[in-house]
Amino acid sequence: MAAEDMFGPNLGSLRGKTVRRNGTTVNIAPRFVPPEIMDRYRDVTIAMDVMFVNKLAFLVTISIGIKFGTVKFLVSRGHDNILAAVKRTKNTYAKRGFSVTHCKADLEFEPLCSDLDAEGIHLNAVEKNELKLSQYVV
């Protein structure tokens, strides 16, 4: 009893006998987008490129005006997978009331031009080294 009073309880014994309890969950209510931002940036232009992390491909986009970035994992760099990732990105913006109208990308994405036009997105394909996503990040 004297040792427990001086040193406290035996932590090794307590860790094996106690059960971890989950914390309370935090519910975050969605916030509205201020009207000033919606008036100015309703039509969004994005820049996109495929980037690799440990040989895994990701479609990285950033909006030119509001500087909102998205990253979507690509199973492969095939036409259908990239198009599906662009559609998911467009839906992410649409949830908040924005409309993706223009897209800047390199010539790798030029085969998507007609499919993106069907989605209401005008693709501006440029030369390989002409477009850098880093120039849009502040």
Structural domain includes residue 123: yes
Summarize the confidence of residues 63-88 as an average pLDDT.
Answer: 93
Q: Which among 92, 50, 94, 96 has a CA at the least distance from the CA of 73?
A: 50
User: Apex CA 3: angle with CA 11 and CA 17, to 5°?
Assistant: 25
Token couple for 136: 């849009």
Structural domain includes residue 7: no
For the whole model, what pTM was predicted? 0.71
DSSP 8-state assignment for residue 130: T
Residues 6+ apart with CB under 8 A from 66: 37, 41, 44
Structural domain includes residue 40: yes
Q: How far is CA 85 from CA 38, 44, 51, in A?
A: 24, 17, 13
Its domain, for residue 85, covers 35-136
Question: Which tens digit of pLDDT belongs to each residue from 5-39?
Answer: 777 777 777 766 677 778 888 887 777 888 888 89
Residue 138 — very low, low, confident or very high, per pLDDT cuts 50/70/90?
Answer: very low
CATH number of the domain at 125, please: 3.30.420.10
Question: Which tens digit of pLDDT belongs to each residue from 92-127?
Answer: 999 888 999 999 998 889 999 999 999 999 999 887
Structural domain includes residue 126: yes
